[in-house]
Amino acid sequence: MGKRQKQKFNLRISSVTENLEIIRDFISRIALKGGFDSENADQVALAVDEACTNVIKHAHHHDARRMIDINVFLLNDRIRIDVTDTGKGFDPKNLSEPNLAKYAQEARHGGLGIHLMRSLMDEVHYDFKTGKKNRVSLVKYLNKQNA
Amino acid sequence: MSGFSVSRNDDANISKLYLSGFLDAHTVPKFEEALQSCLNDEQYNIIVNLKDLDYISSAGLGVFMGFIEEIRESGGDIKLTNLSNKVHKVFDLLGFPALFEIYDNENEANQKFTSG
């Protein structure tokens, strides 16, 4: 496998759900460029949609003046996407594993999205600095692509 | 823009909703309105045909969860049909097949309503 330079792509976009489609297209194209097949590129785009939806709803409260920063890194063996907001963080460590009876309640608080992110990606990391920036990092490896 | 649309077709006491396009946090209100209109008309047997649905995020799945309790309490159900592999995968990841009946086509869902 030949080494390749790390490539970085940035998108800074207004924090509104209307932009989710643009965000998905942006992510999907980069994932394809990085060697993911279309199914896996779609999965990465869905995970980023979930991360951004949580930011728009729970951190920025649909305030269109606030911005989401999306930084994408294409590395030799993986793609990493950092989604950064400037709102109050939501700590997913307080969220338990899926419980069907609690789904309806969790759905209102972004719980389904966090479970999806964990399922679709190989790694999900959170970095909370209350009152400052909160960041979720999503990682997917090329060699773990589902057949 | 690709967007999202939903259309409704009532067949006796069964309402059929046809979803098309991209169902995400931006487009869910249209789907919620369609389901609410069924409830307002006291139509509780609902088939949601996903043949032309290209994309669903957890926001879309949350709509099903938000309505199912009330619909089942009223003696009805939401049955899903014609899921693409891509959409089915998302349902699978969240364990939805344990919560909702999923059929290959409308006929099967129809029969379940009429025989059940």
DSSP per-residue codes, chain A: ------EEEEEEEES-GGGHHHHHHHHHHHHHHTT--HHHHHHHHHHHHHHHHHIIIIISTT-TTSEEEEEEEE-SSEEEEEEEE-S----GGG--S--GGGHHHHHTTTHHHHHHHHHHSSEEEEEE-TTS-EEEEEEEEGGG---
For residue B116, tell me if it sits in a domain: no
> Residue B100 belongs to what domain range?
4-108
Length of chain B: 116
**Considering CB atoms only, which of B25, B94, B99 is closest to A53?**
B25
Is any Cβ of chain B less than 8 angstroms from the Cβ of A120?
yes
Q: Which of A46, A99, A145 to mutate against chain B (most B CBs within 10 Å)? A: A46
For residue B20, tell me if it sits in a domain: yes
For residue A4, tell me if it sits in a domain: no
For residue A133, tell me if it sits in a domain: yes
Count of domains forming chain A: 1
CATH code, A40: 3.30.565.10
**Considering CB atoms only, which of A56, A98, A116 is closest to B25?**
A56
> Residue A121 belongs to what domain range?
15-144
CATH code, B92: 3.30.750.24
Is any Cβ of chain A less than 8 angstroms from the Cβ of B61?
yes
Q: What pLDDT is recorded for position B50?
A: 98
Per-residue pLDDT band for A78 (boundaries 50, 70, 90) equals very high
ipTM comes to: 0.92
pLDDT digits (tens, 9 = 90+) for A16-39: 999 999 999 999 999 999 999 999
For residue A120, tell me if it sits in a domain: yes
Q: Which amino acid is residue B103, in one-letter code?
A: Y
pLDDT digits (tens, 9 = 90+) for A123-140: 999 988 766 788 999 999
How far from chain centre, in Å, is Cα A90? 14
Per-residue pLDDT band for A86 (boundaries 50, 70, 90) equals confident
Q: Which of B2, B57, B78 to mutate against chain A (most A CBs within 10 Å)? A: B57
For residue A1, tell me if it sits in a domain: no
For residue B113, tell me if it sits in a domain: no
For residue B114, tell me if it sits in a domain: no
Mean per-residue pLDDT, A88-116: 62
